[in-house]
Amino acid sequence: MTDRVFIFDTTLRDGEQSPGVSFNIQEKLEIARQLARLNVDIIEAGFPIASPGDFAAVQAIAREVRGPVIAGLCRANPVDIDRAWEALQEAEHPRIHIVIATSDLHIKHKLQKTRPEVLELAVAAVKQARGYTGDVEFSAEDASRSDLAYLCEVLEATIEAGATTVNIPDTVGYAVPQEFGEFITQIRSRTKGIDQVVVSVHCHNDLGLAVANSLAAVKSGAQQVECAVNGLGERAGNASLEEIVMGLYTRQSYFNKETGIKYDEIYRTSKLVSLLSGMAVQANKAVIGKNAFLHASGIHQDGVLKERSTYEIMNPQLIGLPQSNIVLGKLSGRHAFRERLAELGHMLDGDQLNQAFERFKALTDRKKEITDRDLEALVKNEIKSAPELYQLEYLHISSGTTVVPTATVGLKRNGSTQEEAACGDGPVDAALRAIDKITGLRDINLSEYTISAVTGGKDGKDALGEVTARVEYGGRPFIGRGLSTDVVEASVKAYLNAVNKVIYESGLATDDLGVSGKRRRGRPRKRSEK
């Protein structure tokens, strides 16, 4: 008999706390929909009181996404709880998640309270939340550094007050597996009523032990694991969802547990989160890294060819890794294109299919062989997370070892083209400066710029370049992506994508987009006077 472990995904809450990561509402919805397809049990959609944007995202997810429980985080105070409920109330299965710290360190220095005061706040908060919903989770922040007797006292009181899940976070990633497993065993044996509720763990990765600690806790009876796709999260991140799930699956004979996860959605989910967060997955990352199923040594290759399980403990197809080596090209028709996309999990029809097919055809003019990874990039890059106020019309570059790099850029806005030229430190810099002249956005800074080849291309010459540009504006990060066989063009597209998000989310274009907010001051100049 196997038991179920509930997968609580916190990519949209703790994951978004990763330095430099910021999802807009469309991106959060896109990820939540994919998490529902992945069949996680709980989606922690955000922290509604944190900002109006967080509130709106939790509300939108609660309204739209069906299947998983939708949780919203709040501190143990009445205002937070009311706000969380306001955002969650339309969810099919809403959960209020309350957190307050129980370690003396946090109680004294952060909360500046006493142990009895914290206990009282925790109980009052759970009671208030239970007035709204029957699904209430209580988290004892910094539990792993809390006094065990006091922690059990708080858990017991919150269970009596109506908590249905109690979460034991290793907030600062301090625990080690054997000790953390024993900690869970102790909590389970010393807390009255704990067998009536779900025991959860939430481990951070400061010592690289988040997954190991979570799995040790499962072995000791934890029934819910909080984790994030690609291990995103505060500081060094949370336990990585894909590693937890595949650990439980691959070592089922040891854990005797199962999850409800649809394994073949894992790879796709990881790709989507990596794309939208702008956080690349390291090549040697377990389960979903580029190298996770590659065999370089001759001995290993020989072994795998004779019997796959000699060097592979997981089947890459199980997690949805695209397998086909069939390449599409110039002569491929719409049918083959559609079928291939469907095999990759992208069900396109009607206008969406027509547009994607047009882009595919345009790509075949520039690239002889279009692989699965090109197709994935092509389709995913089309995820519209902000209206395209500015679109790239044309780009001319003059560059070389003996000339000052110069770019002329034409952008379309509302049907008319605006052109600017600029010089820069290189062709990309020149093109981005020309864009800034057109948009008139001041104080916009490119803070990160990464470029990667989607595939090697034939002879490595016609690879698709994927650029991620992170810009800072008004103290917030905005991430843009661009794809092209030409890296300068990919860079311009990525930057424009980020600029369009800045304009949309900062409400700078009421005239064109019908969004509320400030109107852009001043008109862009028509031509540079270089």
Q: Which does 217 bind (CB under 5 to 8 A by kind): ligand KIV, Zn ion, none?
A: none
Smallest separation (angstroms) from ligand KIV to the CB of 233: 8
Where would I find the beta strands (DSSP E) of 178-265?
A: 198-203, 224-227, 257-258
Q: 443's torsion region: left (phi>0), alpha (psi -120 to 50) or beta?
A: left
Chain centre distance of CA 159: 32
Q: Between residue 149 and residue 168, which ones bind Zn ion under the rule CB under 5 A? A: none
385 binds, among ligand KIV, Zn ion, none (CB under 5 to 8 A by kind): none
Residue 491 CB, shortest distance to ligand KIV, in Å, is: 36
390-394 — which CB contacts under 8 Å span 24+ positions?
A: 390/435, 390/438, 390/439, 390/496, 390/499, 390/500, 390/503, 391/496, 392/489, 392/492, 392/493, 392/496, 393/417
Q: Could you tell me the CA-to-CA distances from 441 to 434, 472, 523 in Å, in that order? A: 11, 12, 10
Q: At what angle do helices 266-277 and 25-38 cross, to 10 degrees?
A: 170
Nearer to ligand KIV, 13 or 268 (CB): 13
List, in order, residues 6 or more apart from 270 with CB less than 8 Å away: 229, 230, 242, 281, 288
On the CB side of 457, CA atoms within 13 Å amount to: 18
Contacts for 466 with CB less than 8 Å, ≥ 6 apart: 377, 381, 451, 452, 453, 454, 481, 482, 483, 490
Q: Of 68, 162, 169, 320, which lies in the binding site for ligand KIV, with binding defined by CB under 6 A?
A: 169
Distances (CA, A) of 529 to 55, 416, 437: 45, 21, 11
- Give the tokens for residue 316: 């890459």
Lookup result for tokens 């997981």: 314
Least separation in angstroms between residue 339's CB and ligand KIV is 43
238 strand-pairing partners: 204
Contacts of 235 (CB under 8 A, 6+ apart): 19, 173, 204, 205, 206
| Burial class of 349 by CB neighbour count within 10 A (0 to 12, 13 to 18, 19+) | exposed
Helix (H, G, I), strand (E, B) or coil at 236: coil
Task: Single out the residue of 36, 43, 74, 99 in contact with ligand KIV (rule: CB under 6 A).
Answer: 99
Q: How far is the CB of 13 from Zn ion (least distance, A)?
A: 8
Q: How many residues bind ligand KIV (CB under 6 A)?
A: 10
* DSSP class of 191: S
Task: Note whether 175 and 144 are within 8 A (CB).
Answer: yes
3-state secondary structure at position 453: strand
Pick one of 14, 44, 372, 374: the residue that binds Zn ion (CB under 5 A): 14
Residue 99 interacts with which of Zn ion, ligand KIV, none, CB < 5 to 8 Å by class: ligand KIV
Stretch that binds Zn ion, among 13-21, 190-198, 262-270, 369-377 (CB under 5 A): 13-21
Segment contacting Zn ion by CB under 5 A, of 11-19, 306-314, 466-474, 495-503: 11-19
Query: What is the contact mask toward ligand KIV in residues 72 to 91, using x (rule: CB under 6 A)?
Result: -x------------------
In the bound state with ligand KIV, the residue whose beta carbon lies nearer, of 173 and 320, is 173
**Of ligand KIV, Zn ion, none, which one does residue 240 interact with (CB within 5 to 8 Å by kind)?**
none
Among 141, 153, 436, 505, contact with ligand KIV (rule: CB under 6 A): 141
Q: For ligand KIV, give the closer residue by CB, 10 or 491.
A: 10
Q: Does the footprint of ligand KIV cover residue 202 (CB under 6 A)?
A: yes
Site membership for ligand KIV, residue 14 (CB under 6 A): yes
Binding mask 54-73 for ligand KIV (x = CB under 6 A): -------------------x
Q: Which is nearer to ligand KIV, 28 or 520 (CB)?
A: 28
Q: Which is nearer to Zn ion, 14 or 30 (CB)?
A: 14
**139 lies in the site for ligand KIV, by CB under 6 A:** yes
Closest distance to Zn ion from the beta carbon of 306 (Å): 44
139 binds, among Zn ion, ligand KIV, none (CB under 5 to 8 A by kind): ligand KIV
Residues 149-168 that bind ligand KIV (CB under 6 A): 167
The verdict on 171 binding ligand KIV (CB under 6 A) reads: yes
- Residue 168 or residue 492: which is nearer to Zn ion going by CB? 168
CA distance 76 to 125: 5
Residues that bind ligand KIV (CB under 6 A): 14, 73, 99, 139, 141, 167, 169, 171, 202, 204
Residues that bind Zn ion (CB under 5 A): 14
